[in-house]
Structure 1
Amino acid sequence: MTATRILGIDPGSRYTGYGVIEVTGGRSRHLACGRINATVGEMPERLLKILRGLGEVIAEFRPAEVALEEVFVNKSVSSALVLGQARGVAIVAAAQAGLPLAEYAATQVKLALVGNGRAEKLQVQHMVKVLLNLREAMAADASDALAVALTHAHVRSTKMRSGLTLNKAWG
């Protein structure tokens, strides 16, 4: 069986979470997770920091695929636009590396990991720890990124078993 590395990204304009897993058969193994701190500077400098940080993660771990959490608009349009810029940078980082990209809504991630699209964030974090056999605490951004990577691993596994081709999302 061939191992596949998946980079999950939780885009944010101040903190962008990342998580790298390796999938062999039906088993997922945690390789790395963390967050890129882009809290200092004007927006162009912060976006560049995110791009460079993701580029470093991609260069170090050489993922085969990237999974990205879609932007959830909860507060305001201006917040969604700022988040959209960080999301765009993540898309560019994947494209620059020539990596295929899948996108998942937060409800899809919650459904895939917890079985409930309206699960609480703590439930998702707990499932990430259980599925990857992790004990240490991690930043919420990193946990969310691992959740996106695990969701993609589950979706791609189901599609491969059923003979379907992978596309942008699981729709």
Structure 2
Amino acid sequence: MTTTDAAALTPEQIVERNLAVVDAHFHNENPEDIDKAIDLYGETIVWEVPARGVLLRDKAEVKEAYLKLFESYQVTKMIQVSRFGTGNSVVDDSIAEMTLVGDVENNVPGCPFPAGTEVSMRIVHIFELDDNGRITRENGYELWRRLDGPINDDIPADAVVIDF
């Protein structure tokens, strides 16, 4: 995906570009395509998951963190509850249903559940993008719940649902 400098775009086109960049980033969050996701970051990146105490500022470290996550999550469903953008940010509210596998304790610092647990994780991402449409900050706010526990999410009828 190529990005375009904001000076050549209308405000509406900037929002469309930012949404497309984040969509491409999510689409490439898998072991085979992770380099494409990382390529959408700017020269500097802040990658933060505050609930688990994770803060990274290096693309190589972010890639390594993603690869460890891929070893520890067996995702069965993604539900996109809401996504919207502005001139320099995109907010995505989603739910991931997955089974934790492998070395969760070491691969997912601060994860509240052990391997073998089926979870429903509500995750809100806040992305900041520069004038060239590159991601400069990715914050993930996670709410971990057991899949068989009390979950009371208000999911719109038109929510995008992807089963794996």
Q: Calculate the TM-score normalised by the size of structure 2.
A: 0.26
Pair member with larger Rg: 2
- Name the structure with the higher helix share: 1
Greater RCO, CA 8 A, separation 6+: 1
TM-score by length of 1: 0.25
- Higher strand proportion: 2
